[in-house]
């Protein structure tokens, strides 16, 4: 059995139609049908229920599909990693979720560029889930996100747990009431959460914080991103629970309050391909911990990679 058999099989299984699969593969339909027939002969099993319209997989076909998809993902991972290893000109593509821009990301990038002048660094804003996909097909080499997603092909390092704080319109009664707020103090407000899509996202971490404590905000207002949430807070449309690094954004029309519960945190997670041990990744990680020490930022214990 050859790799091409897997590619052809996965295309037919996903399109559930030989004509569409042949179009997707840029080939004619008869040779595609012959390849699938040949694959079934090699395996001595039937992968498709031929008389079904649209085409359906047999139980054996479903089993084969799950493994074929994994094998193909590993192949493209191997391709991109080998290209990176053999690349004389060093390059590093970094994916990040928008909210990390308010934390250490800008400093990390500037310092990395200063210290690694021959590495071509590129930045791509994308959700944590898109980062996982982009890592697997070699479009990025490192991702900085907030969602704890399990994947055998991805290594995750929890860099730190960032405290959540509350953003309130300047002069709001809660900003004057007490020095520190509890989540329960916020339930009568409109809670502005972000990003609205794709999910899961930081928005779900905030919603879970309420749910876990049996609390339900009076109204939820979902917006595209953090800057819009802050703008709406400033306009008096509601309040928002934001990562504490946003505090650095200081706006005259928004005030920030700490929360009383130390478990109200959002992690900052560095993700990379499980087998990628390249020098650039190691240097990026070293640099991050060095910056944490210099800036005296609390961080998760080192040597704590999650797989
Ligand atoms: C941080 O704020 O700790 C951070 C942000 C982005 C990448 C790495 C670390």
Q: What is the pLDDT of residue 89?
A: 62
Q: Is the pLDDT of residue 196 over 50?
A: yes
Q: Are 178 and 255 in contact (CB under 8 A)?
A: no
The tens digit of pLDDT for each residue in 83-96 reads 766 765 678 999 99
pLDDT value at position 53?
84
* 159 within ligand 1 shell (Cβ under 6 A): yes
Report d(CA 305, CA 272) in Å as an integer: 11
Of all residues in the chain, the percent with pLDDT exceeding 90 is 79
Q: What is the mean pLDDT of residues 117-145?
A: 92
What does the alpha-carbon distance between residue 171 and residue 160 come to, in Å, rounded to a whole number?
32
Binding site membership of 160 for ligand 1 (Cβ less than 6 Å): yes
Q: Which one is predicted more confidently, 257 or 52?
A: 257
Instruction: Report the nearest atom of ligand 1 relative to the CA of 245.
Output: 2
* pLDDT at residue 82 tops 80: no
Cα(104) to ligand 1 centroid in Å equals 4
| Mean pLDDT within 255-269 | 96
Dist. CA 213 → ligand 1 center (Å): 28
Q: Tell me which of 101, 103, 111, 270 to substitute to probe ligand 1's pocket, judged by most ligand atoms within 8 Å of the beta carbon.
A: 103
Banded model confidence at residue 306, pLDDT cuts 50, 70, 90 = very low
Residue nearest to atom 4 of ligand 1 (CA): 104
- Span 140-149, mean pLDDT? 94
pTM (2 decimals)? 0.76
Which of 176-180, 229-233, 289-293 is predicted with the least confidence, judged by mean pLDDT?
Answer: 176-180
Percentage with pLDDT > 70 across the chain: 96
Mean per-residue pLDDT, 260-284: 93
Sorted by where each starts, the structural domains of the chain and their CATH numbers stand as 3-82 (1.10.10.10), 93-152+270-304 (3.40.190.10), 161-265 (3.40.190.10)
pLDDT score for 307: 43
Torsion of CA 80, 81, 85, 90, to 10 degrees: 60
Cα 71 to Cα 60, 76, 81, 275: the distances in Å are 17, 9, 15, 15
pLDDT band at 275 (very low <50, low <70, confident <90, very high): confident
Ligand 1 nearest-atom number relative to CA 297: 3
């Amino acid at each position: 059995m050859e790799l091409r058999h897997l590619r052809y099989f996965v295309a037919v299984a996903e399109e559930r139609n030989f004509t569409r699969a042949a179009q997707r593969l840029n080939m004619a339909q008869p040779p595609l049908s012959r390849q699938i027939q040949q694959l079934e002969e090699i395996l001595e099993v039937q992968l498709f229920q031929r008389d079904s319209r649209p085409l359906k997989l047999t139980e054996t076909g479903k089993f084969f599909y799950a493994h074929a998809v994994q094998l193909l993902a590993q192949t493209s991972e191997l391709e991109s990693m080998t290209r990176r290893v053999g690349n004389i000109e060093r390059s590093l593509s970094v994916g990040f979720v928008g909210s990390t821009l308010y934390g250490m990301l800008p400093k990390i990038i500037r310092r990395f560029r200063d210290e690694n002048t021959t590495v071509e660094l590129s930045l791509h804003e994308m959700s944590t889930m898109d980062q996982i996909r982009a890592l697997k097909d070699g479009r990025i080499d490192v991702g900085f996100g907030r969602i704890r997603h399990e994947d055998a092909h991805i290594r995750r390092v929890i860099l730190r747990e960032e405290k959540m704080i509350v953003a309130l319109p300047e002069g709001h009664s809660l900003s004057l009431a007490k020095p520190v707020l509890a989540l329960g103090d916020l339930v009568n407000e409109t809670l502005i959460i972000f990003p609205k899509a794709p999910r899961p996202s930081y928005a779900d971490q905030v919603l879970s914080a309420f749910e876990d404590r049996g609390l339900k905000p009076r109204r939820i207002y979902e917006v595209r991103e953090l800057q819009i949430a802050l703008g709406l807070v400033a306009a008096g449309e509601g309040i928002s629970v934001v990562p504490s690094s946003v505090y650095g954004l200081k706006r005259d029309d928004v005030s920030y309050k700490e929360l009383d519960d130390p478990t109200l945190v959002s992690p900052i997670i560095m993700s990379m391909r499980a087998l990628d041990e390249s020098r650039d990744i190691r240097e990026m990680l070293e640099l991050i911990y060095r910056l944490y020490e210099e800036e005296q930022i609390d961080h998760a214990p080192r040597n704590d990679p999650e797989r």
